[in-house]
Amino acid sequence: MEVSIAVLLVSFLVLLALNVPISISIGVATLLTMLVTIDPLPALITMAQRMASGIDSFALLAIPFFILSGLLMGGGGIARRIIAFARVLVGMLPGGLAFVNIISCTLFGSISGSAVAATSAVGGFMIPSMNREGYDKSFNTAVTVASSTTGLLIPPSNILIVFSLASGGVSIAALFIAGYLPGLLMALGLMMVCGVWAKAKGYPVGEITPWREALKISLDAIPSLFLIVLVIGGIISGFFTATEASAIAVLYSLLLSVLIYREIKVDQLPAILVKAVETTAIVMFLIAASSAMSWILSYENIPQTISQALITISDNPLLILLTINLILLAVGAFMDMTPAVLIFTPIFLPVVTELGMSPLHFGIVMILNLCIGLCTPPVGSVLFVGASIGKTSITKLIKPLLPMYAVMFLVLILVTYVPAISEFLPRALGLIE
């Protein structure tokens, strides 16, 4: 056991240090470990079987559809309309453009299901706008980076589907609804930080939008926002499953972007489809490789060993949960969300269920941890995308991000120790007992 785990860890870390893509690093490290643990021919067969079975799930069909709908919405002028709508709501407040940025990232992130897409689409418009109004460039970028992760908690979210698979079948509909309050709480916390920061720096106050213009902007944004109502309303009412909802989202996005807003031309669709296929292939390979690594960890009884070690650390559930949070925060800073969920869910889920935490509650806590990791150095993908769009450096982003990290961690602690934040809405809607 010691030799195989040493091979897994050393090979994985060396490959990461050599800047090998995370999916390839996971796959190669897993294969090397299997070759040490099992005979070569059975190891190769087992590797192929585990990768194939890892993506052999009906629920995963939702991921390529949501990816495609996100690309259609991203290219269909949705971001611009959401930003205009957010400006109508909060643009007149002190530091209003920062609030507009947060609301826009939250809404677009939830519609597209991608924090990187939210950073690119909203940041590409909002960061230059805030720069022109006298806001500090590093602050503007930090706001975009931190707030774009909140959309991953608000459905439709691909990572919640992945957690449902890794946990052994937690209801996707319940997970979708459970993410609303934590996601909104995170957005409100970031708005409080931005409000204090804006007042301290004396950032300008926007003008109130005339009511006729406000009405026109709001009506223009309603079709975009209706996607959330369509998807979640259909799932809750039992009209369709999460997988069927993803197909509905593609159809609606296509009609909206091509026929109603007319910002995507028919001849642009092949390129969008190719991009969706490329992104889906990357995600599915990540899931396949991570599933194989999860299997070899289980084969070596690593989850059980870690579970027993955590329980023996202390008999205080609060301390154990805090330890798990700190581990997940560290994992999120170095690993992509999808493999992190697939690898660490089997390790920590038995521990938290023994402590009385529901799998639904743990799923939201885990995703919230990994969302923070997306905007945390050294590997946070959203952090690097934001720095590139904002034309600033990572080091300059850290100072304005520090109070945002603090609020995000505070929200994480609240969500961890107050189960009702995650479970109230699913229970009220009859999705859980």
More confident residue, 369 or 61: 369
418: left (phi over 0), alpha (psi -120 to 50) or beta: beta
Distance between CA atoms of 2 and 425, rounded to whole angstroms? 45
Tens digit of pLDDT for each residue in 222-276? 888 888 788 888 887 878 888 888 888 889 888 888 888 888 888 889 999 998 8
Q: How sure is the predictor about 1, in pLDDT bands with cuts at 50, 70 and 90?
A: low
Phi, psi (rounded to 5 degrees) for 120: -70, -50
Give the CA dihedral 21, 25, 31, 34, nearest 10 degrees: -160
What 244-252 contacts at long range (C-beta under 8 Å, 24+ apart), as own/partner pairs, is 245/62, 245/156, 246/61, 246/62, 246/63, 246/65, 246/66, 246/69, 246/156, 247/65, 249/65, 249/66, 249/69, 249/156, 250/65, 250/68, 250/69, 250/72, 252/69, 252/226, 252/227
pLDDT above 90 covers what percent of the chain?
Answer: 18
Query: Quick one: how far is CA 52 from the chain centroid?
Result: 24
Distance between CA atoms of 105 and 119, rounded to whole angstroms? 7
Tell me if 313 sits within 8 A of 319, measured CB to CB: yes
Tell me if 110 sits within 8 A of 228, measured CB to CB: yes
Neighbours of 207 (CB within 10 A): 10
Handedness of CA 290, 293, 298, 304 (dihedral sign): negative
Distance between CA atoms of 340 and 404, rounded to whole angstroms? 23
Count of helices and strands (H, E) across the chain: 21, 0
Neighbours of 395 (CB within 10 A): 10
Tens digit of pLDDT for each residue in 59-74? 788 888 888 888 887 7
Tell me if 108 sits within 8 A of 121, measured CB to CB: yes
Task: Please compute the mean of the pLDDT values over residues 372-401 and round it to a whole number.
Answer: 84
Give pTM, 2 decimals. 0.87
